[in-house]
Structure 1
Amino acid sequence: MIIPDGYSDIPAGKIAAVVTHLEMTAPPARRDDPPGAWSLRKVDAPALHWYRDLHRRVGEEWLWFSRARLNDAELAAIIHAAGIEVYALVVDGRDEGLLKLDFREAGQCELVYFGVTGSLIGTGAARFLMNRALEIAWSRDVRRVWVHTCTFDHPSAVAFYQRSGFRAFRRQIEVADDPRLDGTASPTAARHVPIIE
């Protein structure tokens, strides 16, 4: 489908975002870890309630809603699949960041979910998490690591990924039902994206 130049109406009750896909095809130059008391732990066969809670705490402000709409069987099939790895950023004994890597396609790694809770934004925790993500991804037999983000995400997300060594290669428009209107997300989430009923 070709989207015409100019404005396109989005129906009430929907949200629309510009999605930017970014990739790297060789390991980037190593970046030093910022100072901080963070660690990373791999979570094998994550409990669904744990995953839902951390996913919400990290992503609700940025309208991460697709996993919240899945029933338990659907979510388990995704996060327990062979080739999927889930990690938590740990701060003071609490899980405060989420990293989900997808190695299911030969020669590739997708950073499916990447983020830290709101109180850690700007502290260097995301840099620490990205350093670990890239170390893990490039330690495998991959030729490409990629990620996508959208205009609902933190305003610095694309620049952060580019500083990390990613290059933008594709843009799409995503339209979906507003998750704040059906109870999937809190009505107060993502105040930077107005609700239009």
Structure 2
Amino acid sequence: MSNRTTTVTTWSLEQTSPGDLVAVQEPDSASGIRIVRAEVPSPEFSRFLYTAVGGDITWLDRLPWPYETWRAHLTRPGVETWVAYEHGTPAGYIELEAQDEGTVEIVYFGLIPAFRGRRIGGHLLSYGTARAWDLADRWPDLAPTKRVWVHTCSLDGEHAVANYERRGFRVFKTESEEQPEAAPPGPWPGAHA
């Protein structure tokens, strides 16, 4: 185990009105790109998406979650997973979570490495952000959305902050801290061995 540390910068970004969203043009039907809500809570599928997208960028916080923790999280009112597919293959996802007083967090967003750089991310972020703004339409017990926010860090993709800003998010907080260096685990044990 290394005692080395690295400086990690985290940016928190927000939109405070549906009019803030700068959507990208939807891909044409020939692209085979479609975005579908995973309406049946599935810990197995959600963990697959989490490890497939975050395995090379050090997403570690949910790796120790047991099945019941995944299930409890996914069945909470206002938690939604929207999955981007390319010709039937999962390409990435965006997870939304309703919070207090009309706030919705984009908890996770990203693409599986093989699908990055193919112009899917902007569309998925646009679509998912629009779903955050209309979340109360699908969950009538929730307050209407007044704010959508997300955080990203320097361990995520190098274009993450710029992608959020192009979609109309504004940085409202920047923090830096020293963290122990951690090797990305990859999508399965030993993937980076």
**TM-score (norm: length of structure 1):** 0.79
Deviation at 1:174, TM superposition (A): 5.3
Any idea what SS the aligned residue of 1:57 has? helix
Structure 1 unmatched runs, 5+: 1-10, 190-197
Q: Does 1:33 align with 2:6?
A: no
Alpha-carbon separation, structure 2, partners of 1:33 and 1:182 = 33
Task: Letter of the 2:35 partner, please give it.
Answer: L
Alpha-carbon separation, structure 2, partners of 1:32 and 1:117 = 21
Is the 1:65–1:179 contact (alpha carbons within 8 Å) kept by the matching residues of 2? no
Q: Does 1:165 align with 2:158?
A: no
Is the 2:185–2:191 contact (alpha carbons within 8 Å) kept by the matching residues of 1? no
Q: CA RMSD in A?
A: 2.6
Give a deviation string over 1:5-60, Cα, whole Å, max 9, x none. xxxxxx81666521110001112244312443211111124322221111111111
Aligned length: 179
Deviation at 1:72, TM superposition (A): 1.6
Is the 2:22–2:166 contact (alpha carbons within 8 Å) kept by the matching residues of 1? no
Give a deviation string over 1:62-121, Cα, whole Å, max 9, x none. 111111121222222222212111121112212221111011322111110111111211
Q: Does 1:152 align with 2:155?
A: yes
Any idea what SS the aligned residue of 1:68 has? coil
Task: Letter of the 1:48 partner, please give it.
Answer: P
Is the 1:13–1:177 contact (alpha carbons within 8 Å) kept by the matching residues of 2? yes
Any idea what SS the aligned residue of 2:55 has? helix
**TM-score (norm: length of structure 2):** 0.81
Task: Letter of the 2:14 partner, please give it.
Answer: E
Is the 2:55–2:185 contact (alpha carbons within 8 Å) kept by the matching residues of 1? no
Is the 1:45–1:79 contact (alpha carbons within 8 Å) kept by the matching residues of 2? no
Any idea what SS the aligned residue of 1:67 has? coil
Matches within 5 A, 1:76-87: 76-87=71-82
Any idea what SS the aligned residue of 1:62 has? coil
CA shift in 2, pair 1:181/1:102, >3 Å = closer
Alpha-carbon separation, structure 1, partners of 2:24 and 2:176 = 32
Alpha-carbon separation, structure 1, partners of 2:188 and 2:49 = 14
Structure 1 match to 2:49: 54
Structure 2 unmatched runs, 5+: 137-143
Structure 1 match to 2:87: 92
